[in-house]
Structure 1
Amino acid sequence: MNDQELTTGLMALADGAPPVDVDVDAVILQSRQGVRRRRAVVLAVVATVAVLGGVLAFGGPPAGMSPPPATVVDKGLHPYERLPSTPVPAPNVDVSSKSPAFEELLKTRLPAVVPGATTGAGSWGSVKNWDVGGFFVTIEGAAGGGITVTVFGPESSKVMRQLPPGTCVESARVPGEPVCLRQPDRSFVLVADVTGRDVRLPEVLKDPRAVHSEEIDSQRYRVATHYRLDGTIVRVQGNSPDSHSAPTAFSNEQLVAFATDPGFAF
């Protein structure tokens, strides 16, 4: 990733100019040293591809034989119940002060979730007037690439839940198939491989300064999105060290561990 792409990604997440204690030039320099090529950082929504269940048809059994047992086909789950498409007023809040605490939480949890990994350079920000905030950090050591954590508060989550939920399965049948992992409280974490084009925010939440290039739109990611019972959403995006690698350097379990952490909440 070149300097312009990284800066564009950070601007899509940041509210206005970076905070005074964040030096974007230093972030770019450290990021280039930590990873060969950074994935674009885009504050966005996970758009899933619908998975259509098939039906296995059998002919009638030969005379004198019992019919074969019924075949149960997983036609897919919805990770959340879609809300009606009604306008959601902006809450006119500033949640940027929470992002440094979120970043510190990730640094604290990282050694236990990804043994041998450490955090490198990063940046954070929020969407103006909305309860959406998050941060991006590079990951070094045992893993490469980076992690983006985005926390949607109650109002922005209402916007996100008006989007089509798509379908997912509890056990993937083919690599990359969207998977819904049921949590102990019966909520779902949707894990899916997506592209930069898929993870754009709805217009009402989008930063008008965000610029999308064909290269950024074609980047691949793996995203774990926790649709919580209180209505809020936490999205954790795993980035690979370079565009020629798999969508992420992190396992589903590692991404889910961060997405379900109760500390990521406004």
Structure 2
Amino acid sequence: MAAKQMVADDKTRAASPSTDRALTVLETLIGSETPLTLTLLAQTAGVPLATCASIVQTFEQRGYAERQVVGRSHFWQPTLRLYALASSLIRKLDPASVAQPQLRALSDKVEMPAHLGALNALSVVYVAKAATPGFVQFDTFIGKVAPYNLTALGKAIAAYLPEDELKPLLVRLAAGAGPNAKKPEVKTFLADLEETRSRGYAVEDEEEQADISCVAAPVFDASERVRYAVGVTGFSQKLMGDNLPGVISAVLSTAAAISRELGSTGR
């Protein structure tokens, strides 16, 4: 066998074949919409029948799988103990802590404040921030609340919400005080969200207040649902000029990195 082929085989060979088989069986159980017989489970997972039997019996003993006996057939399915494990992990993943190093790097790169925002009813809440030292400090702070439709953070989240979750938010659109504020109309706002989805990021240019602009991109979790948005805030003259393409690229890269930290695969 050629050395190059041996290297390729090493990369694809599981370090622990038994663990690999167990995880494959578990993933097969979780991915099935209906309980599986042992024979079908083994065939679908590509695991020998006797090995598959030992694996699911171990899962049963540990509370990760259960069987239903129908006549002479045994059907296997996963239990909610897996959900309990995932919930415990999610509680430990404080998004602000996960995002902070990424926000720090983003702020340093674009030399503007960077934020992580979450949607709460009709408002965006700033849950994390990183800013460069300087004389001018923007009025953005952890815990700040702003109308979701007047911020790039809010628009970046709203653009990716399911229709049933977005619809209740459209009943109250706040009016901005900036010179570029649009009339708070549903049709206009939906067109803005469509544009946000098509390009992958949101822009707010002097809508909430004069001289201030923002660029933001959505952050997704392990279920591929939008949960947060990451963005930067700056003076319009600086942000919306020649710096804009670089800022957009940096924001998109940061949002993707934070999404991966939260379990998103980008599918």
| TM-score normalised by structure 1 residue count | 0.32
Higher gyration radius (CA): 2
